[in-house]
Chains A and B, each alone.
Chain A
Amino acid sequence: MMPEAALQTVLIAMLGGAIRVSTPYLFVALGETITEKSGRINLGLEGNLVLGAMVAYALSFHTGLPWLGVAGAFAAGLVLGLLHGTICSLPKVNDIAVGIALMSFGIGIAFFFGKPYIQPQAPRLEGLALGEWSSNPALRQALQINPLFFLGLVIAVALWWALANTRPGLILRMTGDSEPSARAMGVNPVRVRILATVLGGGLAGIGGSFLSLSYPGSWNEGLSSGQGLMAVALVIFARWNPLRCVWAALLFGAAGALGPALQSVGISQGYYFFNAAPYILTLFIMVASARSGVAAHAAPGELSIVK
């Protein structure tokens, strides 16, 4: 049996890990939510994530300004999103195929231009020390929270509010749910979708900057372990609701933190198995939500996988 102190350490480590690991999930999931709300799927956000990570790291290394790196990652994500949005707007183009192609493309150019940055150290985005009040060093470390996490929370709440209370929000939902109605109201669905894909791509780029500038906090080719892909599953689990995206991202984050947390108390047996927790969770969630009528009901009606 695990002693009480060890359990506490594991839980604290998982809390810290959940917040840390969830940030890229959160950004990608919010980006994907915007895109899917418009009626299109961008499976290529993994590419945006990796390219964003590389661009952020390179810019931070050259300028010494990590926040400029974040802005650069956002811009890189926008460009990839624009590419996806534009290509998918051509007639008879399948958004899923384009997404996979652009994922390879984004990862490819990130690796190509990223080679020189694998060795050097770039300035990182420092976390906010919110645990100073505590004497427990583990808790202090867990509450070392990156400002990007809070930025993600703000975006989630703002998006949730905007979807219900602003005209652009309603137009986005309308386009995603019923293209004929949007057309009948003089809305150009193609434009709405391109904008939504561009913005979604940008957010995924920011998620990438967190990977290279905060946690793990370096640039290499194994940096992302499929967070960009899992975030797509997460959006379905969150039923296209930005607030639920936050909880879902935290859940995935906690699952991702399980392996390292157990290792920190000396349980290394089954380390790889516990590290696989997020993937198992993804599989489980996909099976469960595919069977759920509620999820089917909440899905935007114009999504190619729903139609």
Chain B
Amino acid sequence: MKDLAAPQTRAIGLETVGMTKVFGPLVALDDVSINVAPGSFHALLGENGAGKSTLVKCILGFYQPTRGTILVNGAEARIPTPAAARDIGIGMVYQHFTLVPCLSVAENLVIARGDKAPVIDWKAEKAALTAFMDRMPFRVPLETPVSALSAGEKQKLEILKQLYLNQHFLILDEPTSVLTPGEADQVLGLLRGMTEAGEITVLMITHKFREVTAFADAVSVLRRGRQVGGGPVSEMSTDAMSRLMIGEAEVRPPEARAEGVASDLQLELTALYVDDDEGLPAVEALDLKVRGGEIVGVAGVSGNGQSELVEAITGQRPLKDGRIFINGKPFEATRRDYHGFKVFGLPEEPLRNAAVRRMTVAENIAFRAFDRPPMAGLGWWLKPAQMRRRAAELIAAYRVKTPSTETPIENLSGGNVQRAVLARELSQDVRVLIVANPCFGLDFVSVAEIRAQIVAARNRGAAVLLVSEDLDEILELSDRVAVMSGGRIVHIAPGAEADRQTIGKYMAGHA
């Protein structure tokens, strides 16, 4: 292929014309035409299932569009395979990392280059890699195995890898979900700089309006496979963008925060030590108190011990040391204590951590109470009719969309699984609520519903511990914000006084 662009502007322009992709009865993408000018920073907005990834997979050659064409620098391009996309210069930075954990940074970069020489001349490669890193705006240590990198470094390495492969059209899929606010701004700012210099073109999938307004030139919004709007970012308000994304669906307004609900109730974590899967310390000397009628949000970059902390509290992982007290009495993660202290939880990935995939919705909803009256007699004689009746009530009250109470819960959408779990956990008298990443990957309507339910539990006097990687969620819901870094609580601030920059610094461990 001839070099179409002028030598100093190496960025590629790309246009899709009438892209349509049909999977059986499902129209995943319906007549989408977007135009990404060379050297621009283009945002692709949409909820889960709006067709963003289908569009991108068509561009990358993973899927063949049912109809529609792709123009690269104005000329029609056929992209039958991912390798063809790579040859054109289109590279993808995936949300799930595609780095090989056991290989070092250098090995990952060299192997990605896909050339044919069987023996690798490490001396020459190392020299070339060092020279490459010197030209880049951010760097990652070459000798470290990828498994030892932080999430932020991995994300940077993913981007570096595409640049190393000489890709001039980068597609980024939610690139900042694992970064601290500071790192996110840094990485996006540097990419923005490279687009302005005409080095690369960026197409970024996101749902964060803040990033769109701060870094993108233009935006396209998808909803249910259709292109519902777009244009220069300077001409669009955040409100207009969110209306385009959500459409006519009714979103529950945020639950008002009731005052004066604080109580003497207290959840107290004292000197908790928890190990990770490899026996290394994940949580160290962690102390935290949560009062009744209060939401304490634990912010932190993924992998700083938050999952281990939640698993230890909910009994999925042994506590190495330390005690948990509720109202001064020791709490163990046993069924008896859960019931006695009225402790409930919404763990992350509810389908994995809070439900049995192949059991029915009714059975899953009955987990808390299946062996107690009225659902059971004598402690062991179960009454399925009672279970179904109770499940039907809760399904209606929490608006769970399911064909019947007897559907296996794995057939429900993510939002509805979370609602079913919510129904089970919040329909009783809740004193302590442990919540972890409750809205991850859910649509706007479900997110609003779930956040409102959490605040409602607080308003009823429950002590709520909210662990989330979504800083916006923490700031929106918390009465107090705690920051977790390296397995410890490194900062606590009242929610009203918490600000993004300070929290970001503590999250990065720089403060």
Interface residues of A (CB under 8 A from B): 165-168, 170-171, 173-174, 177-178, 180-182, 184-186, 293, 296-298, 300-301
Contacts and interface: CB of A to CB of B under 8 A. Distances in A.
Contacts of B117: 167
B9 to A, nearest CB: 28
Interface string B263-295: 000000000000001111000000000000000
B102 A177 contact: yes
A173 B119 contact: no
Contacts of B82: 184, 186
Given A165-B119, A165-B120, A296-B277, A301 B111 contact: no
B84 to A, nearest CB: 10
A185 B278 contact: no
B119 A301 contact: no
A185 B114 contact: yes
Contact of B101 (A177, A184, A185): A177
B96 interface: yes
A186 B101 contact: no
B164 interface: no
18 contacts: A165-B119, A166-B118, A166-B119, A167-B111, A168-B118, A170-B103, A170-B120, A173-B102, A177-B100, A178-B98, A178-B100, A181-B97, A185-B98, A186-B82, A186-B83, A293-B277, A293-B278, A293-B279
Nearest to B278: A293
Contacts of B100: 173-174, 177-178, 181-182
Given A293-B278, A293-B280, A186 B114 contact: yes
B120 A174 contact: no
Interface in B95-116: 96-103, 107, 110-112, 114, 116
B103 A177 contact: yes
Interface centre among A166, A297, A301, by most B CB within 10 Å? A297
Contacts of B94: 184
Nearest to A186: B83
B122 A165 contact: yes
Given A173-B103, A186-B114, A301-B102, A180 B96 contact: yes
A60 B206 CA distance: 67
Instruction: Give the top 7 A-B pairs by smallest Cβ distance, nearest first.
Output: A293-B278, A293-B279, A184-B98, A181-B98, A170-B111, A177-B102, A174-B100
Contacts of B86: 186
A181 B99 contact: yes
Given A166-B120, A184-B94, A171 B111 contact: yes
A240 B110 CA distance: 22
A297 B111 contact: no
B278 A174 contact: no
A171 B113 CA distance: 12
A174 B98 contact: no
Contacts of B96: 180
Contacts of B118: 166-168
A292 B277 CA distance: 11
Contacts of A177: 100-103
Interface of B: 81-83, 86, 92, 94, 96-103, 107, 110-112, 114, 116-120, 122, 147, 277-280
Interface centre among A165, A171, A184, by most B CB within 10 Å? A184
A272 B222 CA distance: 74
Contacts of B92: 184
A301 B101 contact: yes
Contacts of B111: 167, 170-171, 174, 185
Contacts of A167: 111, 116-120
Interface centre among A167, A177, A301, by most B CB within 10 Å? A167
B170 to A, nearest CB: 14
A173 to B, nearest CB: 6
Given A166-B118, A167-B117, A185-B111, A174 B279 contact: no
A256 to B, nearest CB: 32
Contacts of A300: 102
Nearest to B117: A167
B77 to A, nearest CB: 18
A173 B280 CA distance: 25
Contacts of B277: 293, 296
Given A165-B119, A167-B117, A180 B102 contact: no
Contacts of A185: 98, 111-112, 114
Nearest to A185: B112
A76 to B, nearest CB: 28
A296 B114 contact: no
B94 to A, nearest CB: 7
A170 B107 contact: yes
Given A174-B100, A177-B103, A184-B82, A297 B112 contact: no
A292 to B, nearest CB: 9
A158 to B, nearest CB: 12
A174 B277 CA distance: 22
A180 B98 contact: yes
A171 B118 CA distance: 11
A296 B278 contact: yes
Contact of B278 (A173, A182, A297): A297
Contacts of B122: 165
A167 B120 CA distance: 7
Given A170-B107, A173-B100, A182-B100, 16 more contacts: A165-B119, A165-B120, A167-B111, A167-B118, A167-B120, A177-B100, A178-B100, A184-B82, A184-B92, A186-B81, A186-B82, A293-B277, A293-B278, A293-B279, A293-B280, A300-B102
Nearest to A182: B100
A174 B113 CA distance: 13
A44 to B, nearest CB: 25
A152 B86 CA distance: 41
Interface centre among B92, B99, B111, B118, by most A CB within 10 Å? B111
Interface centre among A166, A185, A186, by most B CB within 10 Å? A185
A168 B117 CA distance: 10
A297 B279 CA distance: 11
A33 to B, nearest CB: 14
B103 A174 contact: yes
